[in-house]
Amino acid sequence: MDYVQAIVDGLLFGAVYALIGIGFTLIFGVMNKINMAYAAASFAGAYVSLGIAQVVGLSGDFGLPPFVMFLVSAVAGGVFAYIVYLICFRFTPDHYELASLMATIGTLLMVDEMVVQATNGEPQNYPEVLQGIFDNPMLEFSEEFAIRGDLLTLFIVAVIATLGLLWVLFRTKLGLATRAVAQQRMAAQLCGIRVDRTNATTFVIAGVLGGLAGAMIGAVVGTLLQSLVVIPLTIKGLIVTVIGGLGSIPGAIVGGLMVGAFENVFLAIRGVTERDMYVMLLLFVFLAFRPQGLFGRVAVRD
Residue 98, C-beta contacts closer than 8 angstroms, at least 6 positions apart: none
User: Binding to other proteins by residue 105, rule CB under 8 A?
Assistant: yes
Sites for other proteins among residues 6-45 (CB under 8 A): 28, 33-34
Q: Which of 118, 155, 132 is nearest to 229 (CA)?
A: 118
Closest CA to 118 of 37, 43, 38, 211: 43
- The footprint of other proteins on this chain (CB under 8 A) covers a number of residues equal to 48
The interface region with other proteins, picked from 127-135, 156-164, 197-205, 268-276 by CB under 8 A, is: 268-276
Please identify, using beta-carbon distances, which residue of 59 and 276 lies nearer to other proteins.
276
Candidate residues 158, 242, 257, 259; the one interacting with other proteins per rule CB under 8 A? 242
Helix (H) / strand (E) containing 273:
helix 272-289
Binding mask 193-232 for other proteins (x = CB under 8 A): --------------------------------------xx
Per rule CB under 8 A, is residue 284 in the interface with other proteins?
A: yes
User: Which residue number, 250 or 291, has a Cβ lying nearer to other proteins?
Assistant: 291
Closest CA to 22 of 239, 229, 250, 269: 250
State how far the Cα of 68 lies from the Cα of 199, in Å rounded to an integer.
27
123 by DSSP, 3-state: which?
Answer: coil
**130, 120 Cβ separation under 8 angstroms:** no
Q: Closer to other proteins at the Cβ: 112 or 150? A: 112
Q: Is 114 in the site for other proteins (CB under 8 A)?
A: yes
Nearer to other proteins, 28 or 155 (CB): 28
User: According to CB under 8 A, which residues from 64 to 93 bind other proteins?
Assistant: 87-88, 91-93
Choosing from 1, 55, 96, 186, the residue that interacts with other proteins (CB under 8 A) is 96
The amino acid at residue 102 is M
Of residues 2, 74, 69, the one with CA closest to residue 264: 2
Rounded least distance, CB 103 to other proteins, Å: 4
Q: Are 111 and 230 in contact (CB under 8 A)?
A: yes
User: Stretches 68-76, 136-144, 258-266, 276-284: which one binds other proteins (CB under 8 A)?
Assistant: 276-284
How far apart are CB 197 and other proteins at their closest, in Å?
A: 20
**Region near other proteins per CB under 8 A, out of 132-140, 180-188, 205-213, 275-283:** 275-283
Structural contact between residues 162 and 253, judged by C-beta atoms closer than 8 angstroms: yes
**Smallest gap, in angstroms, from Cβ of residue 175 to other proteins?**
24
Max alpha carbon distance in the chain (Å)?
A: 62
Q: What is the 3-state secondary structure (H, E, C) of 128-141?
A: CCCCCCCCCCCEEC
Q: Which is nearer to other proteins, 56 or 285 (CB)?
A: 285
